[in-house]
Amino acid sequence: MVELNFHPGDYVRLRLALEEIDGQVLESPDSGILLIKLKSGYNIGINKENILAGRVIKKYSEEEIKLPKREERKELPSVGLIITGGTIASKASQSTGGVKPITHVDEFLT
């Protein structure tokens, strides 16, 4: 078995017996399976024993969100926002292929 030094979020190219696959590594609950998110959006699991070679095309680095500067406009009424979950209150997680909740109200502006 080939040694794989991939981490969740890394974009990789894998060589299998009959094809090459590019995709983003996802967290896997099974240490013998490498989960990959394909460009099509589908997630696939590949038995690590079937991987002949692999390399990282782009390392994942979690970028700090740069929130836009906003001016407080005193002439406008205040608005309360209750975040209860769901798609609108979520952002894509590059490491899991799923979503994470938005944790700061200003993230709605990005």
pLDDT of amino acid 41: 87
Looking at residue 109, what is its pLDDT? 67
Contact at 8 Å (CB) between 71 and 106?
no
The pLDDT of residue 12 is 96
Overall size of the chain counted in residues: 110
With a cut of 50, which residues of the chain have pLDDT below it? none
pLDDT value at residue 18: 95
- Residue 10: per-residue pLDDT: 92
Q: 22: closest CA among 50, 2, 42, 5?
A: 42
Three-class HEC string of 44-75: EEEEHHHCCEEEEEECCCCCCCCCCCCCCCCC
pLDDT at 91: 78
| CATH fold label, 11-58 | SH3 type barrels. (2.30.30)
Under DSSP, is residue 108 helix (H, G, I), strand (E, B) or coil? helix
